[in-house]
Copies of this chain bind each other. A is one copy, B any other.
Amino acid sequence: MRQANAKRPLLWLDDLAPGQAFESSCRTITRDEIVTFAAAFDPQPFHVDEEAAKASLFKGLAASGIHTFAVSIRLLLESTFALASGLISTGGEIQWKKPVRPGDVLRLKIEISDVATDPESDRGTVTLDIQTLNQNDEVVQTFAPRVVAFQRPRNSH
């Protein structure tokens, strides 16, 4: 389902093991993006209003956690963790650790923590530890999704 990319080998369940690590590119979060996203989905003063944000617990404008989550998923899709069958998750634990500010540059560190195969099926469940870091190497978010992966088809290499 994912388009082929010569620089990025497509992965099947058979290719995956705990401890394998993957990385993403970077993405800058702008003030406009923070306000536009929050206006649609999380229109609280500390996400949309600079002045109100100063008086809040965040002490300044901060991205909605859902926005940080969405940007992290985009980075994951473009990362070297490129499943041949696409990225389908049944969920996981998300934690927001630090505020994301206008101008922050986000990137991911991705590691496989568990691979569960089902001998009676062609699919398995891969659990990831995903850290979203800012330009100061501070972890702003962690997400530990369970992801569906498929065995390599017998006619594929």
Contacts and interface: CB of A to CB of B under 8 A. Distances in A.
A73 B66 CA distance: 8
A41 B92 contact: no
A28 to B, nearest CB: 15
Interface in A15-55: 40-46, 52, 55
A42 B74 contact: yes
Interface residues of A, number: 36
Interface in A124-150: 142, 148
Majority DSSP secondary structure for residues of A touching B = mixed
Interface in A85-110: 85-96
17 contacts: A1-B52, A1-B55, A41-B74, A42-B87, A44-B86, A44-B87, A45-B86, A64-B73, A65-B89, A65-B91, A66-B70, A70-B70, A90-B95, A90-B96, A91-B93, A91-B96, A92-B94
